[in-house]
Chain A
């Protein structure tokens, strides 16, 4: 299981072990980033059995005996003994080198599959575990195509009743999904989606299985080139309402299942195949409600570990679904004003730990405020006095201040009243500061917002001058970046009151 508290034992390392762990982790992170750039970001999960630790002692002696163990399994006739034999084989397979040996044995997979479908339930379990180990293999030779004999059975078993066995089958299939397009097509043809739908329905009270379904589905739909057939199949399958019904965090079980389902919804929404259908089935409503709940939890200070893993996909889902239609039509699903408060609270809470999350939160605000009929949301931001919270994010880089400036620009574009309110909230002095920043893009956006403010009402131009903004604009005229030079000059020439000259003697 991946309940977050189950992994806590790793935190007990001390000293150099910890440093080494951190070093490995950093290296690993770099690898993941490289993989993502190549669109090869893939993860597999290994289900731990009760009788072993994840990186506990590997019986290396046993792994050398893989051939022998396999032959015992192959030739054994005694079913009772067979279970023990399979268990021994499975333990040997904890060592990745054993995988290569095993697949070279003739009919190795066929034998395992025979046991998978055999009459003895315990044998089935052990055979499934063997296949599961193989599905998680780091060796590229042990790929899903080799395991394809097993898939029809694995898929069939998804409609079975025993949770543990079903979970194993699910994670095995989930590990196979990212391997290649061929594998995915095959799984699709073999009916994996209706099977998943059935499975989540049967086991809806068993959250471990639900988490496994979520994982497998997310692996299926997050792969490359899935928009053609797989995603439309998922959208049509009736899975969506089932995923949505999971979106209530069960504090006893932890966040695992909700996290997986949320990531599924994100992958569906960002593929933009039929977001209207997603909205129609209530996705936006459920996601925003959950975000509000999480916002309330964050406000109360109860930030559970790993909660950002849930907030992230929800933000992305909502952000992308906002483009699925005119905002006015989506309004009923967005009627809780606390959503805006939550979107401002997340950056404050996560700025130091996860600045990218802060940025994505503001991105959602951008999508709420940039539409043709966003005036209701812009008004709400003032009514709830949320603009100062946004202005406070302006000093921060990482793309955060640029996104905030976009939101402020969106608001300013609504009209004069909005510009006046922005000035009241203290935007002009904040712009004086952002205009001095080193990042050209920040300065460009600041000039745009400033231009809009000053154009809407001469009072604001005067206020800007009172805030000693003129020398700042003049200084920008010396920049070697043409974009900001031109804009600064334009503002000085067109939007400042006529009595303001370039003469610096008046300013101190």
Chain B
């Protein structure tokens, strides 16, 4: 249980000089102009307040409780027990700090996986988390960039890293990726999230005009929607709305495709993960001005939860 170096130190022979005053002392003090003096912010308030402090503990201090109990158990002859269940050291838990996401994890790896899956590379318009910065860029460009959508020339980029090909239509891109990059044909090309029910999705589509907030990248209603995927409901937290593919509105689309696209996948979609808010979550307004719109500002339920359509409409 003890590390070898410690054992070595303590069991060293007497010939070794053990005196503390024989140990070379490191130089004390900071460089001139060190920032430490700026622990006070501009308004003069101290932000970092720790100062080294010796602590005196009196007999009744709570820190002494366990030791006292142990002593008294001994005095009362109760301390010897073959299987002594004393409190054992617990490892600290980790908590996700994203506002409203109060998940707790027992290892740092679990926490990081959670964070990477749900809070990184998040599109602040539709609260979806993309696997990489590149795909996030593409997503924003294709779904939320109003200028882009107005331009006559639509340029869907190939999703494969390193391949810069651009295409006019989604189908062309899809074909390219299947043929050239050998993607399976049922790959989630169009970043659809799960919809359970197309009908309700369609209904919400009609309600899209009632968005509550306007994000920076919102594109405007009706005129744009039918060709492109962009929806003004970014502020609506029912993620399903975003799944409306051009295919649904596109007369040329094959209903079979729609069904395919709407299949509820239980495993995480390859490209995107949508994040569902809790119903009573306040949006942290104060953060909006400080950070780029990529910064996540909504809540999540965690990766494993149902992310499909719940059927009660809008966020409260």
Give chain A's interface residues, CB within 8 Å of chain B.
Answer: 2, 4, 7-8, 10-11, 18, 21-22, 25-26, 28-29, 32-33, 36, 39, 41, 43-45, 54, 222, 259, 263, 267, 270-272, 292, 295-296, 298-301, 305-306, 308-309, 312-313, 316, 319-320, 322-323, 331, 334-338, 340-342, 344-345, 348-349, 351-360, 363, 366-367, 369-371, 374-380, 382-386, 389, 395-401, 406, 409-410, 413-418, 421, 433-434, 436-439, 442, 445, 447-449, 451-452, 454-457, 471, 474-480, 486-487, 490, 494-495, 502-505, 508
Which chain B residues in 61-109 approach chain A with CB under 8 Å? 63-99, 104, 108
Residue contact A270 to B18, C-beta cutoff 8 Å: no
Query: Please, which residues of chain B bring their CB within 8 A of the CB of A7?
Result: 77, 80
B→A interface (CB under 8 Å): 1-3, 5-7, 9-11, 18-21, 23-31, 34-36, 38-39, 41, 47-60, 63-99, 104, 108, 111, 115, 119-121, 133, 284, 287, 290-292, 294-295
Minimum C-beta distance from B60 to chain A (A): 6
Q: In angstroms, how far is the closest chain A Cβ from the Cβ of B106?
A: 10
Assuming the contacts A222-B59, A433-B108, asked whether A353 and B88 have C-beta atoms less than 8 A apart, the reply is: yes
In the bound assembly, the distance between CA atoms of A323 and B53 in angstroms comes to 10
Q: B36, B50, B58: which has the most chain A beta carbons within 10 Å?
A: B50
- What are 22 sample pairs from A and B whose C-beta atoms fall under 8 A apart? A25-B73, A28-B73, A267-B59, A271-B59, A320-B57, A322-B54, A336-B19, A338-B10, A348-B1, A353-B86, A355-B87, A356-B63, A384-B9, A397-B91, A406-B53, A417-B26, A417-B27, A439-B93, A447-B48, A456-B31, A490-B41, A504-B294
Contact of A270 with B59 at beta-carbon distance under 8 Å, contacts A22-B85, A353-B86, A503-B292 already known: yes
A39, B30: Cα distance in complex, Å: 46
Q: Which residues of B contact A316 (CB under 8 A)?
A: 57, 64, 67
> Does B2 lie within 8 Å of A399, measured CB to CB?
no
Asked if A494 and B35 sit within 8 Å, CB to CB, the answer is yes
Chain A residues within 8 Å of B29, by CB:
415-416
- Tell me the minimal C-beta distance from B219 to chain A in angstroms: 23
User: Which 4 pairs across A and B sit closest by C-beta, in order of nearness?
Assistant: A356-B66, A438-B95, A370-B52, A299-B10
Q: CB distance A375 to B57 under 8 Å?
A: no
Among A355, A389, A418, A478, which residue has the most Cβ atoms of chain B within 10 A? A478
Q: B39 — which chain A residues lie within 8 A by C-beta?
A: 451, 455, 490
- A421's closest neighbor in chain B, by CB? B26
Are the C-beta atoms of B94 and A438 separated by less than 8 Å? yes
Check A479/B64 contact, CB under 8 A, given A32-B73, A397-B91, A436-B108.
no
Contact residues in B for A357 (Cβ distance below 8 Å): 66-67
Q: Which of B6, B20, B94 contacts A377, CB < 8 Å?
A: B20
- Complex Cα–Cα for A331 and B19 (A): 11
Q: Is the CB of B63 within 8 A of A395?
A: no
Whole-angstrom distance between the Cβ of B72 and the nearest chain A Cβ:
5
Distance to closest chain A CB from B96 (angstroms) = 8
Closest to A312 in B: B67
Asked if A505 and B133 make an inter-chain contact with CB atoms under 8 angstroms apart, the answer reads yes
Known pairs A366-B54, A415-B26; A502 contacts B89 (CB<8 A): no
